[in-house]
């Protein structure tokens, strides 16, 4: 009987140094608070944001850390990819969303550089990482601002430039209009003159300056009809 009792007594003593060892090894490796999502460490303080534009109403979403590397990156991916699609809808939201995306990228850096998470007995499963943001279908949301910028650029290019460098088209016996130089035109303004006779051999196109409905002067545009 005594030989049986002996190992039973020894066992707790064996367990003790192991426990002490694991605590010692654990704590100094990351003296950081546990991950809010899974309880593991090491963690970094980071706050990921989301934005939802609802035409008139704006929704600001926020997820505060500390995060372990996996949960941090997962939260970054979820919040960012949702914002890519939901962020643009509204005047204010359109301005806010790029900042939210940039802040998230900056915050991502904090968790991405953490060492791999070290789960212990108290920690749960980390959030699933999922695909990187750029591989998600929500990336199509980036097309919204790009399309708008494209439309604005097209309008800006299409708008006729007036004054020197602008192009003119004759619209009647005594009328003309500014047109974009990419369009069909009858000439290009290469200088301005002070009078009807100031353009020399070049054609002169006149335009009345008006202010509050009253004519305040006349502009004389010298037009090269070969351009």
Binding residues (CB under 5 A) for Zn ion: these are: 35, 37-38, 68, 71, 126
The DSSP H or E segment spanning 215 is strand 214-224
Distance in Å, CB of 161 to Zn ion, minimum: 57
Helix, strand, coil percent values for the chain (each to nearest 5)? 40, 25, 35
Distance in Å, CB of 74 to Zn ion, minimum: 8
Across-strand partners of 206?
220
Q: Which is nearer to Zn ion, 71 or 222 (CB)?
A: 71
Distance in Å, CB of 68 to Zn ion, minimum: 3
Q: Which is nearer to Zn ion, 42 or 126 (CB)?
A: 126
What is the Cα gyration radius of the chain?
Answer: 35
Distance in angstroms (rounded) separating the CA atoms of residues 76 and 63: 9
Q: Which is nearer to Zn ion, 38 or 46 (CB)?
A: 38
Distance in Å, CB of 143 to Zn ion, minimum: 32
Range 28-34 contact pairs with CB under 8 angstroms and sequence separation of 24 or more = 29/118, 30/115, 30/118, 32/66, 33/66, 34/66, 34/122, 34/123
Instruction: With beta carbons less than 8 A apart as the criterion, state whether 66 and 34 touch.
Output: yes
Q: Which is nearer to Zn ion, 127 or 189 (CB)?
A: 127
Q: Which is nearer to Zn ion, 46 or 168 (CB)?
A: 46
Instruction: With beta carbons less than 8 A apart as the criterion, state whether 202 and 223 touch.
Output: yes
Across-strand partners of 178?
168
Distance in Å, CB of 9 to Zn ion, minimum: 40
Closest CA to 120 of 59, 198, 38, 193: 38
Distance in Å, CB of 63 to Zn ion, minimum: 12
Distance in Å, CB of 72 to Zn ion, minimum: 7
Instruction: With beta carbons less than 8 A apart as the criterion, state whether 222 and 201 touch.
Output: no
Q: Which is nearer to Zn ion, 80 or 86 (CB)?
A: 80
Q: Which is nearer to Zn ion, 38 or 199 (CB)?
A: 38
């Amino acid at each position: 009987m005594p030989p049986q009792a002996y190992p039973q007594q020894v066992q707790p003593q064996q367990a003790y140094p192991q426990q002490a060892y694991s605590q010692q090894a654990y704590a100094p490796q990351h003296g950081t608070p546990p991950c809010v999502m899974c309880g593991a460490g090491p963690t970094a303080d980071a706050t990921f944001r989301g934005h939802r534009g609802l035409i008139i109403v704006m929704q600001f979403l926020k997820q505060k850390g500390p995060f372990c590397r996996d949960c941090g990156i997962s939260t970054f991916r979820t919040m960012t990819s949702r914002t890519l699609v939901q962020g643009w809808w509204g005047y204010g939201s359109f301005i806010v969303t790029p900042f939210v995306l940039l802040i998230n990228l900056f915050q991502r850096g904090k968790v991405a550089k953490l060492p791999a998470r070290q789960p212990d007995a108290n920690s749960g499963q980390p959030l699933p990482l999922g695909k990187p943001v750029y591989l998600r279908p929500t990336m199509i949301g980036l097309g919204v601002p790009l399309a708008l910028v494209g439309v604005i650029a097209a309008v800006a290019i299409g708008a006729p430039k007036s004054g020197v460098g602008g192009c003119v088209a004759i619209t009647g016996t005594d009328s003309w209009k500014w047109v974009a130089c990419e369009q069909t035109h009858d000439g290009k303004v290469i200088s301005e003159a002070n009078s009807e006779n100031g353009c020399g051999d070049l054609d002169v196109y006149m335009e009345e300056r008006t202010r509050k409905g009253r004519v305040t002067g006349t502009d004389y545009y010298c037009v090269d009809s070969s351009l």
